[in-house]
């Protein structure tokens, strides 16, 4: 399944795929040249979770007939609005044209908008970020209504300098895989049977999560769980056997303190990571009391792991 990433119409540059999937630092991406032609990246860290990102320059004009082959394979179009440039009217007009052409070929495409670079000095508080976010939503919906185009669009505030870009991409990737609902059910069961506060299944290479339980995602939970993956990789590089960074025995446990009272064990939360498939890990937040039943948690994780293999075998 393809994801089309359309850059800002003026700068024509997106650094998103390079930061997330090629591990370029945000500061290094600042010096990248504009995207002048279509760039293709295939994400295939795991044989069961694969997709292709096509990075389009912002000045590309979509044409339903000329781009039919691409659009027929497209699951989602991500339109990146550069909040630093701030030309909402022009950007919304561009997005409307893209939707009009894409809809002629493929009515099943998801349309996603990144209100991007909200980390700049122009947006120093949440009110300013929400203002540009709401202005863009209002303008594009008016444009689509006037053009009699009826599609659903999901909006995200994003930056490459924090975890918001990973969270947004995770939610988009989840829309494209039919087995995600089964994974959510399994994670909900883990939540119910073992008292797990929050659970994610991560792609270990990109650190995007392909599933989480049904409870709302707190970005701080995502941050701390994804950072545990870095801890695992760093420790495995130093102490791993035969230079292996990751295998079926991989696991990590970290106890987090809550509050100032070091003797108050009841307030502790555990971060628990377990391998569940090749390059996929389960990361959980578990309370002190529930973690005392670690044998039960491991039993249920093994059931989840087996179910995961069965789902992928039928894919």
Q: What is the CATH number of the domain that holds 205?
A: 3.30.450.190
State which H helix or E strand residue 251 sits in.
strand 251-256
**Residue where a domain stops, chosen among 175, 192, 222:** 175
The answer on pLDDT for 265 being more than 60 is no
8-state DSSP, 265: G
Tell me: do 143 and 188 sit in the same domain.
no
**Residue where a domain stops, chosen among 128, 148, 175:** 175
Tell me: do 82 and 194 sit in the same domain.
no
Tell me: do 197 and 271 sit in the same domain.
yes
Domain that holds residue 124: 2-175
**Residue where a domain stops, chosen among 139, 158, 175:** 175
Tell me: do 73 and 188 sit in the same domain.
no
- 72 phi, psi to nearest 5 deg: -65, -30
The answer on pLDDT for 278 being more than 90 is no
Tell me: do 64 and 82 sit in the same domain.
yes
119-133: string of b/e by CB count within 10 Å (b at 16+)? beeebeeeeebeebb
Tell me: do 141 and 272 sit in the same domain.
no
The answer on pLDDT for 243 being more than 70 is no
Q: What is the pLDDT of residues 122-171, one digit of tens each?
A: 777 888 889 989 999 999 999 999 999 999 999 999 988 888 999 999 99
Residue 26, classified by CB atoms within 10 Å of its CB into exposed (0-12), middle (13-18) or buried (19+), is: middle
In the Cβ-directed half-sphere of 169, how many Cα atoms lie within 13 Å? Answer: 28
Tell me: do 117 and 133 sit in the same domain.
yes
Nearest alpha-carbon partner for 171 in 126, 122, 102, 222: 222
Tell me: do 109 and 160 sit in the same domain.
yes
Tell me: do 214 and 247 sit in the same domain.
yes
In 3-state terms, what secondary structure has residue 99?
helix
Domains of the chain: total: 2
Tell me: do 38 and 90 sit in the same domain.
yes
Q: What is the pLDDT of residues 71-103, one digit of tens each?
A: 999 999 999 998 887 789 989 999 999 999 999
Tell me: do 115 and 216 sit in the same domain.
no
């Amino acid at each position: 399944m393809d994801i089309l990433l359309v850059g800002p119409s003026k700068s024509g540059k997106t650094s998103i795929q390079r930061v997330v999937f090629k591990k370029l630092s945000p500061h290094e991406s600042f010096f990248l040249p504009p995207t002048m032609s279509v760039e293709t990246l295939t994400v295939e860290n795991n044989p069961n979770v694969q997709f292709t990102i096509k990075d389009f320059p912002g000045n590309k004009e979509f044409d339903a007939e000329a781009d039919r082959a691409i659009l027929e394979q497209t699951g989602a179009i991500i339109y990146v609005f550069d909040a630093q440039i701030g030309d909402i009217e022009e950007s919304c007009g561009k997005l409307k044209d893209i939707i009009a052409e894409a809809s002629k070929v493929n009515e099943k495409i998801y349309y996603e908008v990144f209100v991007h670079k909200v980390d700049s000095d122009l947006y120093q508080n949440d009110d300013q970020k929400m203002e540009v976010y709401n202005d863009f939503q209002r303008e594009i919906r008016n444009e689509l209504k006037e053009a009699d185009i009826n599609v659903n669009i999901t909006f995200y505030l994003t930056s490459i300098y924090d975890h918001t870009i990973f969270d947004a991409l995770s939610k988009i990737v989840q829309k494209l895989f039919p087995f995600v609902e089964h994974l959510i059910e399994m994670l909900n069961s883990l939540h119910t049977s073992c008292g797990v506060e929050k659970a994610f299944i991560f792609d270990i290479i990109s650190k995007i999560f392909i599933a989480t339980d049904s409870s709302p995602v707190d970005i701080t939970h995502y941050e701390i769980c994804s950072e545990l993956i870095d801890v695992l990789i760093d420790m495995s590089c130093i102490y791993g056997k035969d230079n292996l960074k990751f295998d079926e025995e991989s696991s990590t446990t970290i106890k987090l303190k809550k509050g100032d009272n070091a003797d108050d064990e009841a307030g502790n939360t555990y971060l628990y990571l377990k391998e569940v498939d090749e390059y996929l890990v389960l990361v959980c937040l578990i309370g002190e009391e529930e973690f005392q039943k670690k044998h039960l948690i491991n039993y249920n994780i093994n059931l989840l792991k087996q179910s995961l293999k069965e789902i992928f075998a039928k894919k």
